[in-house]
């Protein structure tokens, strides 16, 4: 059975809420709009790309390969009150 994009989105949202992900601004020149999200074990870090205030994508496999809205994007969106491009506004 395949997973619907609704289920995938919910799982990402659930993980964004349950896991203590840390969000930092990327201090790199030209990358200041982006964020780096570090997992609760401080093992993995992924970059969430932002253009003109809209969250575009993340470097994690979930976003990069599956084109899904991942927990990192959701976490940045929640903390910094930003829109995620793939989610349509009502």
Q: Could you list the residues that contact Zn ion (CB under 5 A)?
A: 46, 58, 60, 63, 70, 72
**Nearer to Zn ion by C-beta: 55 or 58?**
58
**Nearer to Zn ion by C-beta: 1 or 38?**
38
**Nearer to Zn ion by C-beta: 70 or 84?**
70
| Beta carbon of residue 32, minimum distance to Zn ion (angstroms, whole number) | 19
CA distance 35 to 25: 4
How far lies 42's CA from each of 34, 45, 56, 62, 84, in Å?
Answer: 19, 7, 23, 18, 24
| Beta carbon of residue 53, minimum distance to Zn ion (angstroms, whole number) | 18
């Amino acid at each position: 059975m395949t997973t619907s994009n609704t289920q995938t989105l919910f799982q990402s949202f659930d993980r964004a809420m349950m896991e203590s992900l840390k969000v930092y601004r990327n201090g790199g020149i030209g990358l200041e709009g982006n964020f780096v999200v570090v997992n609760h074990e401080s093992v993995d870090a992924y970059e969430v790309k932002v253009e003109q205030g809209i969250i575009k994508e993340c470097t994690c496999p979930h976003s990069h390969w599956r084109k899904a809205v991942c927990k990192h994007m959701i976490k940045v969106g929640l903390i910094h009150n930003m829109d995620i491009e793939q989610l349509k506004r009502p």
